[in-house]
Amino acid sequence: MKGASVSFQLPYTCNAEHANHHRFGINRTVLTSDGKKLVSAGRDGCIKCWDITEAEPTILSSLEEHIDWVNDLLLIKDRTLISASSDNTIMMWDIEEHKHKLTFRFAFINDELIFLGHIQTM
């Protein structure tokens, strides 16, 4: 997909009719290397995995362990997802199994986690 530009509108809503959508804004998105799935980090504390192979994105799963904004995502080998949240946690997920695997909790006094760096190795 190098050089390709694709646009999707991911929904967020404040009503129960669309309970699978984000309830507030989206802070970050990451795309799998095959371009078939998109993962979004929401201000509702949820991470949503989307199938984007059709014209209308469909929800595959909702990962709901964070209790504050999810600020950043890092996808490793299209299966392991790392998320950073304003709840001062970094969590590890298996997006193929739609499961939470691990939580790292940090004790910040006046700060929050907002960024995950990624170093590529050759």
Q: Does domain 16-105 have CATH number 1.10.10.60?
A: no
The residue assigned the tokens 């995950």 is 116
Residues 6+ apart with CB under 8 A from 16: none
Q: Is the pLDDT of residue 32 over 90?
A: yes
Contact 68, 56 (CB under 8 A): no
* pLDDT score of 80: 95
Give how far Cα 2 sits from Cα of 5, 30, 33, 52, 85, Å: 9, 15, 10, 17, 30
How many C-beta atoms surround the C-beta of residue 103 within 10 A?
Answer: 14
pLDDT in tens, 95-106: 999 999 999 887
pTM of the model: 0.76
